Amino acid sequence: MTEPIGPVSDAAVRADPAFVSAAGLTKAFGAHVAVDDVSLEVAKGEVISIIGPSGAGKSSLIRCLNLLEVPDHGSLRIGDARVDFTGGSLAKPQVRALRAQTGMVFQAFNLFPHFSALKNVALPQMRVHKRSRAEAEERAMAELTRVGLASKANAYPAECSGGQQQRIAIARALAMDPELMLFDEPTSGLDPEIGAEILQVMRGLAADDMTMLIVTHEMEFARHVSNRVVVMVDGAVIEEGPPEQIMTQPEHERTQQFLSAVLGR
């Protein structure tokens, strides 16, 4: 876990520049517009960090991408799955097809406390993909091994550290074969050392060309793991670019203010 963490190679960003394409996404909660006409294209294999002040709409945006929140307007395409949110209710098959493309990792790990790590990772596969128990458990074991937790397969969440629980949650999401992984502050609330374990797992996924969108308050994380940093303020994307550029020469005054506040400079 002490291995130095360097930037993901841009070579990881492959030929499909608009594998994820969100256009004009808008989401209001009552009178408050949490996501305000956001358009975003994500290349296959790209790793994007979304940063910005508290309440900027970062979580709401990624929740819109897997339809945990249904946008009021706009459209979204992930791979072959496409949904238009403007006008009318969503057809269930469309929603299912879009959701099937994404895996989500939350700040709170959301594991079932009464099931072992193995069962936590196997059950969603059995329910959603209708895999047999043997098949789901075999895959669960493979994903637990991938996140370095084969030895904890039979442990319950309460017998695992916060970092281990988060890695189980990552394994659970991966076992569903997502094309896009969404992370909502995956290291918040964890000790820095434990956060580094998660970071290491995520770097491994980036090296495997997993497409990832990560909401994070950790600027070092954004700087060293991403191909691109997206800055949100008041529901809108105000600036985006390569991590070094955003961190050292941000163009927008609100980005400068935000970075000054979080980096104390």
Ligand X SMILES: Nc1ncnc2c1ncn2[C@@H]1O[C@H](COP(=O)(O)OP(=O)(O)OP(=O)(O)O)[C@@H](O)[C@H]1O
Nearest CB to ligand X, comparing residues 16 and 220: 220
Least distance in Å: CB of 95 to ligand X?
A: 18
Query: What spatial distance separates the first Cα and last Cα of the chain, rounded to whole Å?
Result: 29
For 220-261, the DSSP string reads HHHHHH-SEEEEEETTEEEEEE-HHHHHHS--SHHHHHHHHH
Cβ neighbours of residue 101 closer than 8 Å, sequence gap 6 or more = 78, 79, 81, 178, 179, 180
List interacting residues with ligand X (CB under 6 A): 29, 32, 34, 52, 54-60
Least distance in Å: CB of 149 to ligand X?
A: 27
Indicate if the alpha-carbon torsion angle 95, 100, 103, 107 is positive or negative. positive
Asked whether the beta carbons of 118 and 140 are under 8 A apart, the reply is yes
By C-alpha distance, which of 201, 195, 200, 199 is closest to 146?
201
Angle subtended at Cα 146 by Cα 220 and Cα 2, rounded to the nearest 5 degrees: 40
Nearest CB to ligand X, comparing residues 1 and 263: 263
Least distance in Å: CB of 32 to ligand X?
A: 6
- Cβ atoms within 10 Å of 124's Cβ, excluding its own: 18
Nearest CB to ligand X, comparing residues 171 and 214: 214
Nearest CB to ligand X, comparing residues 61 and 205: 61
Nearest CB to ligand X, comparing residues 32 and 96: 32
Nearest CB to ligand X, comparing residues 151 and 257: 257
- Which amino acid is located at 101 in the chain? Q
Least distance in Å: CB of 238 to ligand X?
A: 13
By C-alpha distance, which of 92, 109, 98 is closest to 25?
98
Nearest CB to ligand X, comparing residues 52 and 157: 52
Least distance in Å: CB of 102 to ligand X?
A: 17
Cβ neighbours of residue 193 closer than 8 Å, sequence gap 6 or more = 1
Least distance in Å: CB of 58 to ligand X?
A: 4
Residue with tokens 């020469």: 249
Least distance in Å: CB of 249 to ligand X?
A: 23
